[in-house]
Structure 1
Amino acid sequence: MTHTYQITGMTCSGCQHKVETLLSQVKGVQNVDISLAEGTADITMAQHIPTSTLQDALKDYPKYQLSEAQHTHTMSMDMEDTENRTWLATYKPILLIFGYILTIAIIAGYMEHGFMTMTAMRVFMSGFFLTFSFFKLLNLQGFADSYSMYDIVAKRFRAWGYIYAFIELGLGLAFALDVQPFAVNAVTFVVMTVSLIGVLQSVLNKRKIQCACLGAVFNLPMSTVTIVEDALMIIMSAVTLAIIL
């Protein structure tokens, strides 16, 4: 499980390294990822570690003060509730969304002279990006907070979470209008590949954090389902690029 804590008193990379070292020495801590700019620490632990124990690890350096981040504590509680649900109940929202988008894409692909696979793919990708960007924009800050916990770019450049939501919106509109197919598919391939790297790292490291794919609206855990989402967009964009070339 991973929890985020607020840490005050860090003023330089030396402080960051010192705090990381001290917290990493606590029994049960598996990983410590500190954001100096945000003043936060994402701590992955084998089992729950009391906040007081983490605070004791910094007691010899009183200028560093650790406290719980309220929004993350609530998120962790939600994730624990999610674990008690069945797989179908957990992923029902995303399965329904995929079902609706796929149905529309198949209908759009049927023409008088046969089924147009490329048209169906384009409509599916448009529906995918428009729908997923919609949920992100409902709570843009919440999405950015969740995304910065695992995305390799957003970890270092938090504003990327805000930018990414609008990139998805732009891609959705571009696919719908069928403009500049080569450029649009190239951007899709690059952006989704970068996104997939962070997802793979989190899943392989078994980090129990919230997936930001549907923004902060639905409480979905990071899992192989998230990998399939990104991989599907990568494959479709790669196929389209291959055909165009």
Structure 2
Amino acid sequence: MVMPDHICPYGLKSLDLLEREGFEVEDHHLETREETDAFKAKHDVETTPQTFIGGERIGGYDDLRVHFGKDKPEEERSDTSYQPVLALFGMTFLMALAAAFVAEGQWFSLRTVEWFVAFSMCGLAYLKLRDVESFSTMFLNYDLLARRWVPYGYVYPFGEGAAGVLMIAGGIFGLIAAPIALVIGTIGAVSVFKAVYVDKRELKCACVGGDSNVPLGFVSLTENLFMIGMGVWMPVKQIILG
């Protein structure tokens, strides 16, 4: 479909995939709704684009990927993935490395670790704050405090974000952030451990927001343990450094 107000992204993806596979493509544009409806009726299909190779209809973009031995269509894959949270942690780690280099002239230091956790907390808080209502609903599936006090599901992302920002600021602000991170992390770690390792429940983690496909498990527990560690470390660091 190539119309004044819409160009089909899957058509462009199909074209690109075919060209990368070495095909010379004869591209037929459907430029009106009438042409599109007539095409669908003629070939008895519900969607466009449709790819034909040697006169044989292969199907849409997902079917084309399967034809070339690529990964399965989205709807046929597992509905859970660690990719969102791992992508976020990867980016925040690189941010921490860059910030430490600017601040201290070296890529990796103790501050790199501190900033990595703090940046991650801010990033995770942002993902939750995009849709607090959806987050709180998913959060109620496993968080022990939220089940007893529902407003905690709404307070949590603001607390996580505030703690992350204060940790980045450091000094006295880090001391203010410490108890917030300690409380959030402890409740979260206990909740995740109980749900996954004691109750053996298969749940999706609310850690990256209310539309998360991240399975509740090791990564979620690690996130909370990092917050506990920072909650303990910030006041200890202040005492050591005076």
Q: If the length of structure 1 is used for normalisation, what is the TM-score? A: 0.60
State the shift of 1:113 in Å. 5.7
1:206 aligns with one of 200, 208, 211: 200
- Identical pairs, percent: 25
Q: Provide the aligned C-alpha RMSD in A.
A: 2.5
State the shift of 1:115 in Å. 5.7
| Secondary structure of the structure 2 residue equivalent to 1:155 | helix
The structure with the largest helix share of the pair is 2
Query: Contact conserved, 1:186 with 1:241, CA < 8 A, in 2?
Result: no
Distance 1:163 1:175 in 2: 18
| Secondary structure of the structure 2 residue equivalent to 1:180 | helix
Query: Contact conserved, 1:135 with 1:217, CA < 8 A, in 2?
Result: no
Residue aligning to 1:39: none
Q: Which runs of 5+ in 2 are unaligned?
A: 1-73
Q: If the length of structure 2 is used for normalisation, what is the TM-score? A: 0.60
Distance 1:206 1:83 in 2: 25
Name the aligned partner's letter for residue 218 of structure 2. Answer: T
Name the aligned partner's letter for residue 107 of structure 1. Answer: A
Name the aligned partner's letter for residue 228 of structure 1. Answer: T
Mapped pair 1:235 → 2:229: yes
1:105 aligns with one of 96, 99, 119: 96
Q: How many residues align?
A: 163
State the shift of 1:98 in Å. 0.5
Higher RCO by CA contacts (8 Å cutoff, separation 6 or greater): 1
State the shift of 1:116 in Å. 6.7
Q: Which runs of 5+ in 1 are unaligned?
A: 1-80
Distance 1:166 1:139 in 2: 12
2:220 aligns with one of 210, 214, 226: 226
Report the CA distance shift for 1:220/1:83 in structure 2 as closer, same or farther (over 3 A).
Answer: farther
Mapped pair 1:120 → 2:112: yes
Distance 1:157 1:112 in 2: 43
State the shift of 1:185 in Å. 1.6
State the shift of 1:187 in Å. 2.1
The structure with the largest strand share of the pair is 1
Larger Rg: 2
Name the aligned partner's letter for residue 239 of structure 1. Answer: W
